[in-house]
Structure 1
Amino acid sequence: MTGHFESLINDVPGNADFLTSLAAEWDTYGNHCDGLADDVMSSAHLAPEWAGRAREDFGKSLERQRNRYINLGGDCTTASSAISVYAGAVRAGQKYIENLRYQASKLDEEVDNAPDPLEARVENMPAANVLVLEAFIRIESVKRAADRCAQDLARIVHIEPVQVNNKNPTEVGQMVQLSAAENAQIQKDLDALKNGTFNWEGMKQGQIGDCYFLASMAAMAQTPEGQRRLASMIQPHYDEHGNVDGYLVRLPDDPAHPNASPGREVFVHSKYIHGATQGGRVGVYSILEAAWGQNHPGGTNDGGNKPPGINGGMPADSFKVMTGKSATTLESDGSEGSYNPIERVSIITASILHQPMVASTVNTDATYTDGMASVDATVNGQPTQIDLYGAHAYTIVSADANGVTLCNPHGFNPKTGGGRAPATFTLSWEDYEKYYGNTAIGEL
């Protein structure tokens, strides 16, 4: 037998058995990390009589270390799954190629047994070409699986930087893996975003100082077009069993490299324990916030640190990253009429056109006592005195000739004198320009 046609079928690259063994090693290491997490917490019982401030700080340190081990273990388990998916693609590809080679060998047999082998080879050439093409397509698909696995491995293992305030570590930047129930809820949110039916209200900022980013997300989520734009940034990631084990998030612009586009894609399978929620639960806001943090080498630390984190920033920069388009920034110094008539009309027009907008209490001469300033607002149609936060970003809900309606990403507003008021309120133009020195108008 010549084996001519069979020799045209190339091999599938990769070693499925080795990959399966490697996946098992990653899984074992992930379980080992989980065991180390338990060991860390059990050490707290070694000194049962120890009490006081030092004991409390030690407990917090143990909790931080435990979360790091758990997250690292989860990363290893997810990496194991990614390798298993690739191993499955290689193994299935090899079986497919074996079948194609068998079919090609049958064509070779026909040629060998024919009275005129040359004529038989010519007659069987079209059928052989089909087999060769099928082999090429399958081999290319396995190569793509290899690329996806390599990309997943590069994205999956993530060590979140510890947030440090005044040289002391805090719990703010701690992360924990998403549960199956939380993934299911996020999937519902994603479906609603894609359909333009997502309820944008209910955001509650956590302890991370990224109000500028959260307020920008809420501003985009007010319209179906903005919702679909947010949804387009998030793609579910599946494990070897077909279950969602995280999300691939790509922001249109890379905040670390603003002149390069598109932005870096990150893998998110954890949430900030003290991060943003939606209606008191994890949702797409939580996913995008986690991706925002992973796009910054400093995690939840201050933006002015080296490396920079997400604590502190301006809405115009958020809009640029999330939409890929530059935002318009209008500024007021707090004096009467400092938003001139043209600028007021620009804000009102942007509201009519449903452009996302965020206002920030910065760059004004307004007086803030202990970071707060009391203002007369309208809440649910009733005059209400509330306290505004200094250096804080608020989502603009609407604007007209009578004033500006805003929403606090904290999910509420402190009432002057005590208590809480709803997050959404309306200010007169005079108070708006007094307290809000920066208005960012985004483009979708």
Structure 2
Amino acid sequence: MSMGLSLDAVAGGVVGEVPGSPGGVLAVADSWRAGARVLDEAASSVVSSRLAVPSWQGISAEAFRSSSRGLEGDLDASIMGLLDGARHLEAYAQVLADAQEALERLRALVGAALLEAVDAGAPAVLVAGVRYAAAGAAVGIRARVSIAAMRTAAALNAVGVGGDGAGSGVGVGASGDSVADDSKGKVDDHTGAKTAFSAEDIRRLRQQADGRADWDSAHQGDIGDCYLLATLDAYSRTEDGEQFLRDHVRWSEKDQAFIVTLYDDDGKPVYVKVTDYYTDGNQGDQVRDRQMPNLISVYERAYGQYLGDHDLPGGKANEAMEDLSGRDAHRVETKGAPGFLGWWREDHKYTDSEWKEIEDAVEAGCPVVGGTSDGDFDDGSSVEAWADTDDNGRVDDSDEKGVYTIAEGHAYSVVAIDDKYVTLRNPWARNDTSGGYVPPEEDEEDGLIRITREDYEKYFQHTDIGEIPGES
């Protein structure tokens, strides 16, 4: 026994220790996250105070608003720094814990090897070789920790927060590249590149999920999922629909991910963990001078994972509605009638009852999506229509009439219907022009377009209708 203790002591001397406390580092990270939450509440109070006095005018009012915006910006920067720093600390704590565990395993192996060598009467040179190899392995483990510590320190300096070890016994720094940076630009399935959420993304998305911020309309990128984005856009166009989307996504502090609730074919909930978004998918919100992901981006990524991470193109809006809500959705189609010699002829007409069903659904705030697959494009795709060329969020008499192209094999959300017209929104966030009409470059039309009911019947062979959000 005394020989065993002696050998264990020798093994410990050969292997050495990795100083520091992973728990202590995690405690610091938790305190930074708690600080970020406090600052987030303060930022929300600043915004609320500014919005609470909309009628206040004058020099003092403008000075107050300017000051509050500056304070809000400073708070946001501090929040992002704390969240980024906490993430780097957590990553370093994992490196530290892994290294300490690895040294424990190495110590046990070295002790056993030395004991076996002594019992077998091995030559001293063999014992020395074991000790030399063990010492080399231990040096490699401690070097990884040192490198991680230096990188963590550099990362904390970059985000504007400092640390001198956080109980680790060495300088705390980055764990190397963060999880977010590690995944950028990588292709891991057929939908293409993913980008991990940044701390700023997470803050904004959490505000959208809990009702403190809105999000821009869908803006389709290079993924052919118009049916899904038109569906999400249809939900987003009403207060009940927005709340429905908010109610089905939450932030998990434990998982550091958004948890989106979707539904299987039996109507049972499926929880999808989302930590990144499609780089070339929905274009998100315009924030300052760049596009950033929004809640629609979160749902787009969740749906891609729900489908098994295969290509999103080729879906149906009514199926997406059921997957999003767990409730029935159905399709209304133009049917046609028997023609010459009994051949079936598609007449591209909705019956009066079908029109009423579509109108009632739009009026009630149901998600409604029109699709142009199997539409009548025999004589082209150009229509005389009105688009939101003055960027006031609606199509009205102030907009100039032009010649636009209806996209074949595409899906549009149905915004409004009256006795003569159907107003749609193209998830491309634009409507291509034809016939020589081109809106001025400074105009933004956001994809809204108003066409006649006759043109809708001609080009939109089917209309998908979901249930009213919020009603059982």
Tell me the TM-score range normalised by the shorter chain: 0.5 to 0.7
| Pairing 1:217–2:217 present | no
Could you tell me which residue of structure 1 aligns to residue 246 of structure 2?
231
1:182-232 Cα shifts (integer Å, max 9, x gaps): 1122122223xx47x735x53210111111011101101111111111111
Partner of 2:68: none
Correspondence 1:278 to 2:284: yes
1:326 and 1:342 map into 2 onto residues whose CA distance is 20
Structure 1 pair 221/189, CA: closer, same or farther in 2 (3 Å)?
same
Shift in Å, 1:377: 1.2
If the length of structure 2 is used for normalisation, what is the TM-score?
Answer: 0.52
SS at match of 2:318: helix
- Alignment partners' CA distance in 2, 1:326 and 1:267: 24
Instruction: State the shift of 1:279 in Å.
Output: 3.4
Q: SS of the counterpart of 2:269?
A: coil
Q: 3-state DSSP class of the match of 1:384?
A: strand
**CA separation in 2, counterparts of 1:354 and 1:260?**
22
- Counterparts of 1:171-250 in structure 2 under 5 Å? 173-191=192-210, 194=211, 198=214, 201-238=216-253, 245-250=256-261
Alignment partners' CA distance in 1, 2:368 and 2:316 = 12
Answer with 1 or 2: which has the greater Rg.
2
Q: Give the CA deviation at 1:417.
A: 4.5
Is the CA contact 2:260–2:273 (under 8 Å) kept in the aligned structure 1? yes
In structure 1, give the amino acid aligned to 2:407.
Y
- Whole-Å separation in 2 of the counterparts to 1:343 and 1:324: 24
The gaps in structure 1 that reach 5 residues or longer are 1-18, 25-73, 88-156, 164-171, 302-309
Please say if residues 207 and 275 of structure 1, whose CA atoms lie closer than 8 Å, have aligned partners that are also in contact.
yes
User: 1:260 Cα deviation (Å)?
Assistant: 5.6
- Specify the alignment match of 2:426 in structure 1: 408
**Alpha-carbon separation, structure 2, partners of 1:185 and 1:368:** 46
Query: For this pair of structures, how many residues does the alignment match?
Result: 271
C-alpha contact 2:209 2:250 (8 A) present in aligned 1: no
Q: 1:360 to 1:245 in 2, by over 3 A?
A: same
Return closer, same or farther for 1:271/1:401 CA change in 2, 3 Å cut-off.
same
Give the drift of 1:161: 4.0
Which of residues 253, 259, 266 is equivalent to 1:259?
Answer: 266
Residue 441 (1) aligns with residue 465 (2): yes
AA at the equivalent of 1:392:
H
CA contact under 8 A between 1:215 and 1:393: conserved in structure 2? yes
Among 316, 336, 339, the residue aligned to 1:314: 316
Does the 8 A contact of 2:348 with 2:376 survive in 1?
Answer: no
Cα separation, partners in 2 of 1:357 and 1:338, compared to 1, 3 Å = same
Does the alignment pair 1:348 with 2:359?
A: yes
Does the Cα contact within 8 Å between 2:195 and 2:278 map onto a contact in 1? yes
> For each residue in 1:101-154, what CA deviation from the matched residue of structure 2 results, as whole angstroms up to 9, or x when unmatched?
xxxxxxxxxxxxxxxxxxxxxxxxxxxxxxxxxxxxxxxxxxxxxxxxxxxxxx
TM-score for the superposition, normalised by structure 1: 0.55
CA distance in 2: counterparts of 1:384 and 1:189, whole angstroms: 36
Q: Distance in 2 between matches of 1:413 and 1:439?
A: 20
Match of 2:401 among 383, 399, 417: 383
Indicate how the Cα distance of structure 1 residues 376 and 298 shifts in structure 2: closer, same or farther if over 3 A, else same. Answer: same
Deviation per residue, 1:384-433 (Å, 9 max, x gap): 21111111110110112112100000111111146467210111111000
Give 1:364 deviation, angstroms.
2.4
Q: Deviation per CA, 1:285-334, whole angstroms, max 9, x where unpaired?
A: 111111111112243x2xxxxxxxx2121110011111111112111258
Task: Indicate the residue corresponding to 1:162 in structure 2.
Answer: 189
Task: Check conservation: 2:219, 2:284, Cα contact below 8 A.
Answer: yes
Structure 2 residue ranges without an equivalent (≥5): 1-20, 27-83, 98-182, 337-345, 388-394
Q: Does the alignment pair 1:288 with 2:299?
A: yes
Contact 1:375 1:388 in 2 (8 A): yes
Percent identity over the alignment? 27
Does the CA contact (< 8 Å) of 2:348 and 2:458 recur in 1? no
Alpha-carbon distance in 1 for matches of 2:379, 2:464: 22
Q: Counterparts of 2:401 and 2:231 in 1: how far apart (Å)?
A: 27
